[in-house]
Structure 1
Amino acid sequence: MSYSEKINSLKEELVSETQNLLKIKSVLSEEKPGMPFGEGIDNALKHALKLGEKLGFTTKYMDGYVGYIEWGSSSEMVGVLGHLDVVPEGDGWLYPPYGAEIHDGKIYARGSLDDKGPIMAALYAMYSLKESGYVPNKRIRIILGTNEETGSADMEYYKEHEEQPTIGFTPDADFPVIFGEKGLTVFNLVKKVEAGLEPIVYIKGGQRPNMVPDYCELALKIQGIGECTKKIDSFNAENNANIKYEIENDTLIIKSYGVSAHGSTPELGKNAIMQAIILLDHMNILKGDLKNSVEFLAKNIGMEYNGEGFGIKLHDEDSGYLTFNVGTISTEGDTISLGLNLRYPVTFKLENMMNPMEEKIKPLGFKIEDFSHQEPLYFPRDHKLIRTLLDVYEKHTGDKAEPIAIGGGTYAKEMPNMVAFGPIFPGKPDLDHQANEYIEIEDLMKMTNIYASAIMELSK
């Protein structure tokens, strides 16, 4: 019996076991002894490991942080990295988010697509190979992460205590295969304003640096409010802006409305914070250092999203342009702080972006604080791993596709020698973190065949 025939014979079992795993609410919760990410996540990890043992594999439980299911013996290892934790279910579900109910050939549940369903596909892919008589030349290890959604402390623990795969993939993104992920930075751009922020009472906006903000609010305590409202009206008309205002005694409250988008695709949104900053500069009511600082931001960032004003409009053929997003703004005392999310192309280095930026902000007295960084993930298009996974994908879909590069970051960045490979097929909706998340049973079966073929090719 071929592995494909075996997978078809296991369809009922695969669907049932996927439902069982999805019924476990594995959202980050209060830490308990031996359960660093809470009881629900620990239950999901133990459940998956128990299933791995039942299917005849070696398993290891690593103190509640991570676990793995392994087959074969060799110094070289093919890794499949998935995660069992899920984001909170939120509202708006048609069916119970942990009911794993089947409707119209779809299993509805939080985690069905991200990432429990794909983990089950990989596990049953490995099982079908074993049951059909295939003998791998490399060990195959399915690594069960537990903290992908909230920090990846699971992978830090794994890398401290276990060997890393020789080669592998994570079923936690898109098909056909992702060969490049931009370098990712998040930091605060901070300015202590000489002589204080007057007449600004406060500025607040945005939720996270990696989201284009759809709302920003500021309050001004000023004389001549009537003249300022006229300038807001003209600004709206001239710039197709959506800015409203209210007057409370001698305070003008300005409300800037934009369009939200992910920080990796800022061109799809409209930045409410920068819209407000440009308006503030346009009103011409500020003085001294505060005026210079606001003018600097309006001129050098404005509504751009590629870093051109800072001299960092980096670009390569593989991953496109650098993206520049101002995601948050706040004031405290005489200090303004903006939360930035910059993502640079895969063939560049961090200093190509940061050196020009630091030179640009230095004369104005802006400082960079709370800096975090993930290096780009990049495999040449003709790399053996990329070619192998592309060939497997084409074999099972008939689609002669090209590898893709993205601005977002996947789980593959947490482990060397890995790329993201599925589970979302081209043209299918990305339901990760959305209400009514589901996985189509037909797609579950298709990806199980694809992952079996990929594991076989990588373990030859």
Structure 2
Amino acid sequence: MEKTIKEWLLEHEDEFLKDLFTLIRIDSVRGEAREGVPFGDGPKEALEAGLKICEGYGFHTKNWENYVGTVDYSPELPHTLDILGHLDVVPAGEGWEVTGPFEPLVKGENVYGRGVSDDKGPILCALYAMRAVKELGYSLKKGVRLILGTNEETGSADLAYYYKKEKAGEMSFTPDAEFPIINIEKGAIKGTLKKNRTAKGSLLSLKAGVAVNAVPQKAVMEFSTLSEEEFKHAKDAVEKECGVRLERSGNTVTVIGVSAHASTPHLGKNAGLAALSFAVKLPSLSAEDKEAFEAILKLFPYGVTDGSGLGIKMNDEESGDLTCTLDLFAVDDKEMSFTFDSRVPICGNKENCEDVARKSSEAKGFVFETNGMIPPHHVPKDSDFIKALLSCYEKVTGEKGECIAIGGGTYVHEVENGVAFGAILPDVDTHMHGADEWIKVKDLLLAAEIYAESILALCS
């Protein structure tokens, strides 16, 4: 070859950024659905723009009813490797200072804008990898398909629709995570414990949590009456035991803890559980509430995030420990409800996790509700597929490649033989989902080089 892949990518850096700017300028947050527009105008516009870019480089494209778009390297080749990215983004949010969220900007070594790292930039890494292989004249024996999704951030209904109509490739990876490789994604079970509330003590209501996948940072309790003496006694004890802060305004008590993702709950301080710990110390609490709250605190002890209270503590060498956190708390005049999120290692299943959690909850007098367990996702690290990807990562970066297990899920959680492979380099925080989302331009080109080498290793 007259040029290396790296040289080709450097020569096309300006084109890459031009294409990236085109995509970033489109606000592709999910909007109102209507006939033929399943996720709103923004994702549809981004999909049309992405397909137009790909068509301009000579690839065969197809729009699957505005759910996904596909871009084939060469449609006559056997369908072998799928690369799954997405063009939808999370809302802009507030706090942008370097530039506006949909006003892309290169400043120094970095490019800024909503989607530069999640996932419009990485999609272009894959596209430019395909371009480099094609335009440098390499010959492939197996097909490569880039899939442009439009609903990753709000449910992945795009892939569910697509896979009802089309089979996945023999191998799949998503450039929607971090390098080196995520080959294990823990399973998940979300369950709700409910109980009717009849006897009334001083507690009128309790609320904590904003999402089932986040340790609650704040809890608010409303009381009909609360003496200063019992407030101070319970406050001092809970602040010491739990490391949280309690504030009072009239008969409203607020607990301030520390939020954390449900996959790493040990990093948080659960305001909801601290609120229950406060409530059970009050003489004015009804006996019924006291019994129920104490039962919850036994099932979900404060500071214990291994599921042992529910009886589902487990771990394995490859995927690590089960994690469990109680994330949503709702107590009103008629009912109390508590929802937990557990991330389950590959040794977990319905029998040793869901069924045990149900039995433990019902033994404490709660009604247990769940939509069932999402099974873990696992691609063996000794597979030829993973070995090839790690080899390409090591070849391009000079760094040691390794497999990683995570508590969260990626775009390939439901895809057989699918892994997450970049495009973010290890230990780099690109403010993904936050203000001033950024990524280094050179890191985008590096990821494209890794993907080009991977295409050659798997398909040539």
Identify the TM-score tier after normalising by the shorter chain: over 0.9
Percent identity reads 37
Alpha-carbon RMSD across the aligned residues, in angstroms, is 1.7
Return closer, same or farther for 1:238/1:428 CA change in 2, 3 Å cut-off: closer
Summarize the alignment of residues 46-195 of structure 1 with structure 2, pairs less than 5 Å apart: 46-72=48-74, 73-94=76-97, 95-193=99-197, 195=198
3-state SS, counterpart of residue 6 of structure 1: helix
Return closer, same or farther for 1:244/1:223 CA change in 2, 3 Å cut-off: closer
Q: Which residue matches 1:315?
A: 315
For the 8 Å contact 1:81–1:144, the answer to whether it is kept is yes
Letter in 2 for 1:57: F
Q: Which runs of 5+ in 2 are unaligned?
A: none
Letter in 1 for 2:289: L
Q: Which residue matches 1:451?
A: 451
Return closer, same or farther for 1:365/1:239 CA change in 2, 3 Å cut-off: closer
Q: Which runs of 5+ in 1 are unaligned?
A: none
For the 8 Å contact 1:178–1:405, the answer to whether it is kept is yes
3-state SS, counterpart of residue 113 of structure 1: coil
Q: 2:242, 2:189 → 1: CA distance?
A: 30
3-state SS, counterpart of residue 43 of structure 2: helix
> Deviations for 1:48-88, whole angstroms, at most 9, x for unmatched residues?
11111111111000111111100222333200000000001
3-state SS, counterpart of residue 310 of structure 1: coil
Q: 1:361, 1:188 → 2: CA distance?
A: 9
Deviates more, 1:347-356 or 1:333-342: 347-356
Q: Which residue matches 1:348?
A: 348
Q: 2:347, 2:381 → 1: CA distance?
A: 13
Summarize the alignment of residues 269-418 of structure 1 with structure 2, pairs less than 5 Å apart: 269-303=268-302, 304-371=304-371, 373-418=373-418
Q: Which residue matches 2:211?
A: 208
For the 8 Å contact 2:30–2:43, the answer to whether it is kept is yes
For the 8 Å contact 1:211–1:262, the answer to whether it is kept is yes
3-state SS, counterpart of residue 31 of structure 1: coil
Q: 1:46, 1:130 → 2: CA distance?
A: 23
Q: 1:132, 1:148 → 2: CA distance?
A: 32
Return closer, same or farther for 1:43/1:239 CA change in 2, 3 Å cut-off: closer
Q: 2:428, 2:135 → 1: CA distance?
A: 31
Letter in 1 for 2:27: K
> Deviations for 1:27-51, whole angstroms, at most 9, x for unmatched residues?
1112243211111111110111111
Q: 1:145, 1:81 → 2: CA distance?
A: 7
> Deviations for 1:403-458, whole angstroms, at most 9, x for unmatched residues?
11111111111422210000111121142101000121110110010011111212
Letter in 2 for 1:142: L
Q: 1:121, 1:130 → 2: CA distance?
A: 14
Letter in 1 for 2:299: N
Q: 1:419, 1:197 → 2: CA distance?
A: 52
Aligned residue pairs total: 455
3-state SS, counterpart of residue 33 of structure 1: coil
Q: 1:449, 1:335 → 2: CA distance?
A: 56
Deviates more, 1:431-440 or 1:113-122: 431-440
1:258 aligns with 2:262: no
TM-score, structure 2 as length reference: 0.95
Letter in 2 for 1:292: E
Deviation of residue 185 (structure 1)?
2.2
Q: 1:223, 1:238 → 2: CA distance?
A: 21
Deviation of residue 168 (structure 1)?
1.7
Q: 2:241, 2:90 → 1: CA distance?
A: 41
TM-score, structure 1 as length reference: 0.95
Letter in 1 for 2:195: K
Q: 1:290, 1:23 → 2: CA distance?
A: 53
For the 8 Å contact 2:265–2:324, the answer to whether it is kept is yes
Q: 1:446, 1:431 → 2: CA distance?
A: 19
> Deviations for 1:149-203, whole angstroms, at most 9, x for unmatched residues?
011110111011222111020000010001111102223222223x345332111
Deviation of residue 459 (structure 1)?
1.4
Q: 1:112, 1:331 → 2: CA distance?
A: 42
3-state SS, counterpart of residue 254 of structure 2: strand
For the 8 Å contact 1:155–1:414, the answer to whether it is kept is no
**From 233, 241, 247, the counterpart of 2:236:** 233
Q: 1:373, 1:103 → 2: CA distance?
A: 45
Q: 1:224, 1:15 → 2: CA distance?
A: 63
Letter in 2 for 1:147: N
